[in-house]
Amino acid sequence: MTADPLLTLFLPVALGIIMLGLGLSLTLADFARVVKFPKPVLIGLGCQLLLLPLVCFFLAKAFGLAPALAVGLMLLAASPGGTTANLYSHLAHGDVALNITLTAVNSVIAVLTMPLIVNLSLAYFMEGDQALPLQFTKVVQVFIIVLGPVAIGLWIRSRFAGFAARMEKPVKIISALFLLIIIVLAVVKDWQTFVDYAPLVGGAALAFNVISLAVGYWVPRLMKLSLRQSIAIGMEIGIHNGTLAIALALSPMLLNNATMSIPAAIYSIIMFFTAAAFGWWINFAHGKELQGAE
């Protein structure tokens, strides 16, 4: 597959702005909070890093996904929580501070875990001559793409708090537009695969999304975390950063495979509706308890 100059230029810029927006919403205190309240963070990360990739693997097998689509679904599972999770958690009366901390920590850890999970997925689902392992240089590229803009956003927030606060809303709007463009790019670039596999991949993406929300909510509840913490973790691991998964799949510097971006593109549409339904159910079932906890 030849490199598309538009993708080569647009994807890093789009992803950079989205991750910069994430950085503008973070402070060093968000990372320090892990030390003060390790249990909810560890439970959230355990669900995100251990349970969900296993769930995703068995779903890819159960739905009989084609190799590239199976790798694309695993790439999505390896992606950290999306910034949209913070908004949905707020609307559902979750612990937004926990969301922000999980997003911050998981974005750092994902730089190492994403290449590992993608490598294992490529080795298992793709034939040897098709595999495109992410070597050390690729890990460095992922590190720069993901954490570089986040670090810049963090620095701006620490030095120019007023400016960062004013920029948060416009950057979020721009990020949403870029997300839409990236989803359209992913679908258009491999339209025939999308048409051929949409029902199958859509079913797998929907199942993965619903299971992610359920695992993220019920595991913390079983581990005796508070209702608001459980809502936060449910949203955090139920709303993956599909933009990052699509960008890594399409990027000519990295995987350069449009088919691998299809699961994340479909998921990125589905998750808005399932997360809204989850938030409505939570408030319907626990409205009085949540009002009393605030």
- State the DSSP string of 220-262: HHHTT--HHHHHHHHHHHHSB-HHHHHHHHH-TTTT--GGGGH
Average pLDDT over residues 262-290: 86
* pLDDT for the residue numbered 2: 42
CA distances from 110 to 48, 114, 244 (A): 10, 5, 11
Query: d(Cα 72, Cα 245) in Å, to the nearest integer?
Result: 8
User: What does pTM read for this prediction?
Assistant: 0.80
**N- to C-terminal Cα distance for the chain?**
53
Roughly what angle, to the nearest 10 degrees, separates helices 52-62 and 191-222?
Answer: 140
The answer to whether 31 and 104 are in contact (CB under 8 A) is yes
Query: d(Cα 94, Cα 86) in Å, to the nearest integer?
Result: 9
Ordered by where they begin, the domains of the chain are 5-282 (1.20.1530.20)
On the question of pLDDT at 52 being above 90, the answer is yes
Q: pLDDT, tens digit, for every residue of 107-130? A: 788 878 888 888 889 889 986 545
On the question of pLDDT at 293 being above 60, the answer is no
Average pLDDT over residues 275-291: 83
pLDDT band at 138 (very low <50, low <70, confident <90, very high): low
Q: Which of 117, 45, 50, 43 is nearest to 78 (CA)?
A: 117
* pLDDT for the residue numbered 5: 56
pLDDT band at 134 (very low <50, low <70, confident <90, very high): low
Of these ranges, 9-13, 106-110, 276-280, the one predicted with the greatest mean pLDDT is 276-280
Q: How many helices, marked H, and strands, marked E, lie in the chain?
A: 13, 0
* pLDDT for the residue numbered 97: 81
Look at phi and psi of residue 64 and say left if phi exceeds 0, alpha if psi is from -120 to 50, else beta: left
Indicate the range of 168-177, 211-220, 271-280 predicted with least confidence. Answer: 168-177
Query: d(Cα 46, Cα 33) in Å, to the nearest integer?
Result: 17
Query: d(Cα 197, Cα 202) in Å, to the nearest integer?
Result: 8
Roughly what angle, to the nearest 10 degrees, separates helices 96-125 and 5-24?
Answer: 150
On the question of pLDDT at 271 being above 90, the answer is no
In one-letter notation, the amino acid at residue 175 is S
The DSSP 8-state label assigned to residue 65 in this structure reads -
